[in-house]
Chain A
Amino acid sequence: MPQEFTSPILSVENVDLGYGALQVVTDVSLHVGAGELVGLVGGNGSGKSTILRAISGMITPFGGRIVFDGEAIRAAAPHQMAARGLAHVPMGRQLFPNMSVRENLLVGATLPAARAARARSLEEVRALFPELDAHMDAPAGQLSGGQQQMVAIARALMLRPKMMIMDEPSIGLAPRLVKDVMAAIRRVAHTGLPILLVEQNVKQVLAVCDRAYVLENGRLALEGSAAELQGHPLVRKAYLGL
């Protein structure tokens, strides 16, 4: 495993997570360093989304702690985590369907700091997602699933975040569109933004990420570089169907 010399932007330390009396995640630790694209993969109900919810401050860990940008995350409304520089691309995209793509992006830069740099952000985001250029004035809800996913990522980038977390960006997309979205994520990662990418689509994630964690039934089963995991017998058998 590569050695981290700087402190990670995000570190999840031995967290137990759940809802009410139901514990979903047990003793999970993971971290994302500067400029890394890290995958968090696992099957349905393995606890991936629950970890993202905790990172966004929507639920409080039963035990352990989560440190983002040098500060522990306490239960907070999601908008407060956005203000701290965490961009969350949620499952199902959660766009504003009747607003134009342009307006969706502008709303992404609502917070004062982001608003000050809005024009520049918009240009940068359009350069990253040239496929959106033709649709800037169309209602976001009329775009294809793949394009909508790109709008969701672009909207999150308008925040000028310190880190981005993504919840299943490939869900419900045709295979060709999954490739487009993954390529877009790769482009975003190349800008140096640290990303934690949660996915069921293990094959696609291992193809783009630097490192990954494999979650099974709420516990970490494996972790390692993408190359190591691609060669690991458990991953090959359980997730890649080889």
Chain B
Amino acid sequence: MLDLAIFIQNLANGLLIGGVYALIGVGLTLVFGVMRTINFAHGDFVVLGMYGAVLFDLVFGFDPYLSLLIALPVAFVVGMVVERAILAPIADAPAESSLLATLGLSLIIGNLLLLTFGGEPRSVQVPYASDTVRIGEVNLSVVLLAAGAATTAMIGALYWFLERTERGRAVRATAENRLGAELVGIDTRRVQSFVFGMGTALAVTAGVTLIPLLFATPTFTGAIFTLKAFVVTVLGGLGRVGAAIGGGLLLGVVEVLGASYFLSEYRDAYGLLAFLLVLLLRPEGLFGKTVKRV
């Protein structure tokens, strides 16, 4: 029997975790929109955020959200440097070059983490790990609520930036038509490194909010999150921020409902199943318009 309170609770959990997936997908889709390249190291940036929080916990005993205040600007700068050093020099090379470069970057990040932290799974134990908030019949985990609050704040800030600021408008213009943007005087190379910095910062934020919830391992977790980011963006329709948010929320709900009502060990598989169905039935993405080439 389907208990309504439990269903609502699962739905809420799905939406909260889906918010984090949305954050990851938005980063990937932003980078794709402006650079027309899939960043295969995106999941590894999520894992970098997780290990950043692990490191600050080990050394200073910081709460992940305190670590986030440091990790966020660092991630942004790291992303910009990575773009300048690795992707900008091959910007005019055939598309597979940047795919391979990000794949290489993924291997380097994963193995550097393996070298530094070893292969055993890591997490950060927070004192409020099992606290819940009770709303009516529904119990919500404090850790998940915190993750939801952080992702909402980040996505809100991102929307404000894209829609309300000059630089945000330049980013959107570059994503819509790079030549057009260049001809009105926008330095689109600078926009690219800026956007890569943003994408990295979003991924790292997601990683930090996730670390109280799950264990990270150096190479495997990165691959999982790159895959999830890809699922989220394709579910929604690649290259659009709003679509990635919808895709993220959907993935979260599908995973949590699947794990609750069917076999929980196949949690990741339910998302992939939804992904396959969408690809088969609506290849332009659930919220996508017919893909236009620019």
Contacts and interface: CB of A to CB of B under 8 A. Distances in A.
Given A96-B172, A103-B169, A115-B166, A110 B179 contact: no
B176 interface: yes
Contact of A95 (B180, B187, B189): B180
Contacts of B182: 77-79, 82
Contacts of A107: 169-170, 173, 181, 184, 186
Interface in B188-217: 188-189
Given A97-B292, A98-B176, A99-B176, A82 B166 contact: no
A82 to B, nearest CB: 4
Given A106-B169, A107-B170, A96 B177 contact: yes
Nearest to A107: B173
Contacts of B187: 77, 79
Contact of A110 (B176, B185, B189): B185
B166 A110 contact: yes
B185 A83 contact: yes
Interface residues of A, number: 28
A94 B173 contact: no
Interface residues of B, number: 19
B166 A155 contact: no
Interface string B88-126: 000000000000000000000000000000000000000
B135 interface: no
A114 interface: yes
Contacts of B172: 96, 99
A98 B237 CA distance: 15
Nearest to A155: B184
Contacts of B189: 77
Interface string A68-111: 00000000011100110001101001111111000100111011
Nearest to A85: B185
Nearest to A115: B166
A87 B182 CA distance: 11
A158 B180 CA distance: 13
Contacts of A108: 184
Given A94-B180, A95-B180, A99-B176, A111 B169 contact: no
B183 interface: yes
Contacts of A82: 182-185
Contact of B186 (A79, A88, A94, A98): A79
A78 B183 contact: yes
A56 interface: yes
A159 interface: yes
Nearest to A84: B185
A94 B186 CA distance: 14
A90 B189 CA distance: 19
Nearest to B188: A79
Interface string B274-294: 000000000000000000100
A98 B170 CA distance: 14
Given A79-B187, A82-B184, 8 more contacts: A78-B182, A88-B183, A90-B179, A94-B180, A115-B166, A156-B183, A158-B184, A159-B185
18 contacts: A77-B187, A77-B189, A78-B182, A82-B185, A83-B185, A93-B180, A94-B183, A95-B180, A96-B173, A96-B176, A96-B177, A96-B181, A97-B177, A103-B169, A110-B173, A114-B185, A155-B184, A159-B184
